[in-house]
Structure 1
């Protein structure tokens, strides 16, 4: 399985949480990235690669970065992460949920290396956590879907039943319900972050079940392409996928990692990096929405922009009460908001999502 200040660059790398790191002042900081998929996947890994390139451009001559792509979660990831640390990389980003335990293990063995893990919940003295609040973008996709559907049936091609993905399913559903209470949400799990054939098959199945607007938490444009071939609508995910299916692509929720990668590298070089959790969304620019397809009606576009502004300003949150689960039980009362700890461990569907969650 898988799937969040600007600091002055010091002349030399001093200490990471009190431990001196012996890097010569003239040496560029060696930074490594571990990717779950290929850099050309057009989705999650592609977005991280764009972030790496942005960091290199911003810190030209001060950093030297590398990456390893298509690294499976599990034992293989530990081997890759350990080798990158042994090779002298002083900052390592591991970019998939399923790398969490391997990152934690290697971080303990290399206390003078800084590790940043994406989408997880474990941290340590030299291991931080980061992710984007992609559920904000998912909520906005749902707003558009709720206005565009004719069948009132939406579909999600989902990867793995981890909190990150469940949050996005629920946020998308809540966004759609905010403009169309009749919405029904269908979910098909493909048990992969990147498998175009499985993603396409799932998309076609959802369409056969009546879904006329699709979303995804997978990394290829196969869902969009299937939707376009069937005359339906869908959304890009992690990056703008408009070029793959221009008629079907309504908008995309995109991740932008460049600023975070740049600032983290600067902090490591300055000796000011500290462990912690970073979660950025619309307000911070880590999540951005791509342009709306002109087929989206003016009233739907206006609602989209209004809700985007409300989310970006913090005036609105996707998981505000009253909020019910599938059974109709109140999970969040009116006037309250789902606590962060419950959001990060979410393992239930909101009302309106059909089917059982995989164990």
Structure 2
């Protein structure tokens, strides 16, 4: 009888266990009922929506140079703030074969837009652009273009003119020094505008030019500035990427005019002002055009002070108020779109009329400028 009872208990326990397992399986089946496919599709759609544009930048000098590449990189940082863009840059890329390699490597990584920011990148950009027709290329300061390559620059000569006004007013020796990179139209045009501004304030002043044939070489730039100081120049300006000429001026106890960015921190006792770039507005406008499909190749953009791309840094405390007033009045005219910097009559170094009275130099003439105005001491070679 006891055996029968034990068997009955065992069989009852097994029945209960089977019932429990059965009860446990049912909820699992109910949890698996919702379809997983819609969740996967939603995640894929979210990834597509969040995919960012890829924008690349190629720089000729270090971004920490406080000069040209630094100003471009500030523009890149403004693009990043848009939130839908991933950016990459390569700095200190020599012009020529090295730049072609760097541009091509960037293109192979499926960038949507590539900015090549130095004059010597022009031919490499055109060449690589033909290999990657689906990518938008923007080349700075050149003149060649194609179906997917446009060029761009800013009217920095407007800023040069204003800084020249300051320099001309502050000089006591009537000799201004200018440390220049290469004798190309961009640089020559800037020297001419600077000279015209200086002579507006002081008709007796002359601008002495020394070429370094480099964009970025702090030691060479400083030596060039010292040679101008030895010649009696008491204001040193530059078309170079480092603040070395500013430092040379301060060490000599004279004034200086910077370029690319506000260089006052490098020579606070010497720095009168700087001709500065503000690439942010232009780069944001370009990125937005590529994103919404309105960007076009084969174009040339030359942005001005009215566009906010070029400006001058705040004038130093050593600049008299009456000088500041005149410079700011001239700036207001440029911001309003009234650019008469290269309005005739303007003579060349030989004293010949190069721009007749009653005419204003056309953009094509300015972009191809290879001659110096009256008042410049130096050669265009």
Q: 69, 75, 81: which one pairs with 2:97?
A: 75
Q: Which has the larger radius of gyration?
A: 2
Higher relative contact order at CA 8 Å, sep ≥6: structure 1 or structure 2?
A: 1
Contact 2:273 2:313 in 1 (8 A): yes
SS at match of 2:114: strand
Match of 2:16 in 1: none
Structure 2 residue corresponding to 1:310, chosen from 333, 341, 359: 333
Query: What pairs up with 1:182-331 in 2 under 5 angstroms?
Result: 182-275=204-297, 276-331=299-354
Report if aligned partners of 2:273, 2:315 keep a CA contact under 8 Å in 1.
Answer: yes
Instruction: Quote the offset at 1:268 in angstroms.
Output: 1.0
For residue 138 of structure 1, report the CA deviation from its aligned partner.
0.4
Query: Is the Cα contact below 8 Å between 2:157 and 2:190 reproduced in 1?
Result: yes
Aligned residues: 334
Q: Structure 1: how far apart are the matches of 2:337 and 2:308?
A: 13
Residue 131 of structure 2 is matched in structure 1 by 109
Q: CA deviation at 1:179?
A: 1.1
Output the CA distance in 1 between the equivalents of 2:78 and 2:128: 27
Of 109, 116, 123, 2:145 maps to 123
Q: Which has the higher helix share?
A: 2
What is the aligned partner in structure 2 of residue 46 from structure 1? 70
> Could you say what secondary structure the match of 2:72 adopts?
helix
The aligned counterpart of 1:156 is 178
Aligned to 1:34: 58
Offset at residue 24 of structure 1 (A): 5.3
5+ unaligned residues in a row in structure 1: which ranges? 1-22
> Is the 8 Å Cα contact of residues 162 and 330 (structure 2) preserved in structure 1?
yes
Aligned mates of 1:277, 1:316 — CA distance in 2: 19
Whole-angstrom CA distance in 1 between matches of 2:149 and 2:49: 23
CA contact (8 A) 2:181 2:215 kept: yes
> What is the Cα deviation at residue 260 of structure 1?
1.3
Whether the 8 Å CA contact 2:160–2:193 is kept in 1: the answer is yes
Q: What SS is found at the alignment partner of 1:283?
A: helix
TM-score by length of 1: 0.91
The alignment partner of 2:269 has SS state of coil
Where does the alignment leave 5 or more consecutive residues of structure 2 unmatched?
1-46
CA-CA distance at 1:329 after TM superposition: 1.2
Structure 1 Cα separation of the partners of residues 135 and 193 of structure 2: 36
SS of equivalent to 1:121: coil
